[in-house]
Amino acid sequence: MHISPDGQSVVYIAATSGQGATAYTLALTSGAKPKAALAASGKPERLAYCSWVSNARLVCAAYAVLNDAMLNYPVVTRMVAVNADGSNLQVLSKRDSAYARGIQLGGGYVIDSLPAEDGAVLMTRVYVPDDQIGTRFGSDARGLGVDWVDTRNLNVRHVEAPRPDAVEYISDGRGTVRIVGLQRRRGSDNDHQDEETIDYLFRPTGSHEWKKLSDYNTLAREGFNPYAVDPDLNVVYGFKKKNGRLALYSITLDDSLREELIYANPEVDVDALIRIGRSGHVVGVEYVTDTRQSVYFSPQIQQLLTSLHNALPQQPLLRVVDSSADENRLLVFAGSDADPGVYYIFDHKAHQLQTFLVARSALEGVKLATVRSITYPGADGVMIPGYLTLPPGVENAKGLPAIVLPHGGPSARDEWGFGWLAQFYAARGFAVLQPNFRGSTGYGDAWFEQNGFQSWKIAVGDVVSAGRWLVNEGIADPARLAVVGWSYGGYAALQSAVLDPSVFKAVIATAPVTDLPMLKEQWRRWSSHELVSRFVGDGPHVREGSPADHADKIHVPVLLFHGELDRNVSIEQSKRMCSALKSAGRSCELVTWPDLDHYLEDGGARTLMLRKSDEFLRRSLGM
């Protein structure tokens, strides 16, 4: 959801049937009705987001996951613009051509909404060489460039020439590109492999010359990673490690390259900038300990947000989603662990806070579960943080059916708040423990280990220890304890049953990795193949850590879910796992969808998944 520059309207995206969605605009006046501005059927086009570029004009991102065996289900993105009433639809991304020597998968992205210009944007665009060279239609331009585009009539002015190795541009919010990121590569433009390092260059004020800013290693997360430019201070904000944890730094964009530590937390990574206004200026940072915390640089903004927190004490997860151009009207979202959230409109001058929209209105009046932070000991005694969700109304759990729910990633973490999956199982009577096992991000290098694949014995060992803790604390009935996961969480669920077959009595895995060599091979035709291979690693852990190779060690029933258009984890991973389990005389059921990807973003599909998983758990655990 976003608010218009004048603060008089909002745009939001609502799901329709299947993977479809519609972008609606709504005037913030009494009695106003939503108007459909743009719709996507989900077959295959889908809507990702929409934002305002003027009071009457929207820019939206659309994408599709296409079934092409040669390209392993590519994700194709396009940027489009449309009036708030649905008229004057324009495709902003570079047009496809039958003469193109290559496939344009990326549609670019807006890097500057140009607040001073009505309806124009600064955006990246992907250029593919065209065989009509020699005519006014042909071009040998290749790579990612930046164009000024009038979204109403598609007038274009080239701002940055496309570069084959460019992967990122950062504007100052006032129409000037100040930073470019260049991916190091080996090989030719047509056949190359990405290296792990991105070279960032900057332009001094008033100069067209690129100068060295920093190197950033994407695998090790080493070096300065720029995020936002402040033109008034002439600095770029970005993240860099301090004592093994990410911290916020600024670097002056001149020859001095003066670096200053802005904020660091001694316990966890600083993981996000807080930005406000159409220019997106930086006003603070966020980090997560037990709960997400915010630090604001401006005393005035800190006072404002403190007042909003005081006005909404039952909804501590509060953030400013968007603001009007003058920053008088704010679109605010607030929620909690047992509240999916509400959107509010705050009028700064009038000091009025108005309830605008309930995020999940179907859950209004439904008693939801609360979530509490806990720690439990790993096998080596290290205390592992996690979140325990008990069935609604249950305060002292004893002998409950229970689920350990490891997160995906593995470069991710769980945090306190509303989670639809944990809430569903809690509503069905299960205690749910979400562990931030070692291998999770957010806690610094020492906790990340070598990542959840190369250090799988530690990561999966912590998942197994979560199950043991539930039993030892008396929370879980040992005969009714299951492990459920999605993506890497599905991998951890299956591998935990390999590592210690005695703990969990049922396994559910959605879109799981089951064969590490197959995961690497999936990216064979892509420029990221070597990066993926290095992340997974080589050595004995690869086969030892592939649950499909050890199906005979799994002695409990397994239920798998997978979309056939999964770009992240090939469906062949689940097919191989189920085949191996059946060959070993084990129980396995695989549920698939021919037109869904890794995230199963389809209400009907998710309803089926939840219903079948609930039935499977009750049957497998004797409930």
Query: Which phi and psi (to 5°) does residue 621 adopt?
Result: -95, 5
Q: Is the confidence at residue 14, as pLDDT, over 60?
A: yes
Instruction: Give pLDDT, residue 134.
Output: 55
Q: Is the pLDDT higher at 187 or at 484?
A: 484
**Which residues are bridge partners to 549 per DSSP?**
none
Query: How many Å apart are CA 321 and CA 276, to the nearest integer?
Result: 8
**Which residues are bridge partners to 331 per DSSP?**
322, 345
DSSP 8-state assignment for residue 329? E
Question: Given the DSSP bridges, would you call strands 21-27 and 35-40 parallel, antiparallel or unpaired?
Answer: antiparallel
Vertex 129, ends 128 and 131: CA angle to 5°?
135
Domain 371-620 belongs in CATH node 3.40.50.1820: yes
Taking 3-state DSSP, the helix, strand and coil percentages for the chain, each rounded to the nearest 5, stand at: 20, 40, 40
Helices (H), 279-419: 299-311
Query: How many Å apart are CA 269 and CA 436, to the nearest integer?
Result: 14
Cα 430 from chain centroid (whole Å): 27
Vertex 416, ends 401 and 441: CA angle to 5°?
100
Radius of gyration of the chain (CA): 25
In this prediction, residues 465-486 reach a mean pLDDT of 98
Residue 439 CB neighbours (<10 A):
28
DSSP 8-state assignment for residue 379? T
Q: Is the confidence at residue 98, as pLDDT, over 80?
A: no
Query: How many Å apart are CA 8 and CA 83, to the nearest integer?
Result: 15
Query: Binning pLDDT at 50, 70 and 90, where does residue 131 land?
Result: low
Q: At what angle do helices 488-499 and 456-472 cross, to 10 degrees?
A: 70
Instruction: Give pLDDT, residue 133.
Output: 55
Instruction: Give pLDDT, residue 97.
Output: 65
Question: What are the tokens at 390?
Answer: 């008990």
Residue 391 CB neighbours (<10 A):
18
pLDDT for 553-564, tens place per residue? Answer: 999 999 999 999
Query: How many Å apart are CA 556 and CA 579, to the nearest integer?
Result: 15
pLDDT for 295-311, tens place per residue? Answer: 999 898 899 999 999 99
Question: What are the tokens at 115?
Answer: 């607040």
Instruction: Give pLDDT, residue 30.
Output: 87
Q: Is the confidence at residue 257, as pLDDT, over 90?
A: yes
Q: Which amino acid is at 427?
A: A
In this prediction, residues 170-192 reach a mean pLDDT of 92
Closest CA to 421 of 616, 614, 619, 623: 614
Query: Binning pLDDT at 50, 70 and 90, where does residue 188 land?
Result: confident
Q: Is the confidence at residue 137, as pLDDT, over 60?
A: no
Query: Which phi and psi (to 5°) does residue 54 adopt?
Result: -160, 180
Instruction: Give pLDDT, residue 549.
Output: 97
Query: Binning pLDDT at 50, 70 and 90, where does residue 99 land?
Result: low
Instruction: Give pLDDT, residue 129.
Output: 81
Percentage above 90 pLDDT, the chain:
88
The mean pLDDT of the chain is 94
Instruction: Give pLDDT, residue 66.
Output: 87
The pTM score is 0.94
For tokens 């950062």, name the residue. 170
Q: Is the confidence at residue 510, as pLDDT, over 90?
A: yes
Contact 508, 406 (CB under 8 A): no
Secondary structure (3-state) at 249: strand
In this prediction, residues 272-290 reach a mean pLDDT of 92
Residue 325 CB neighbours (<10 A):
19
Query: How many Å apart are CA 320 and CA 511, to the nearest integer?
Result: 33
pLDDT for 389-433, tens place per residue? Answer: 999 999 889 999 999 999 999 999 999 999 999 999 999 999 999
pLDDT for 482-508, tens place per residue? Answer: 999 999 999 999 999 999 999 999 999
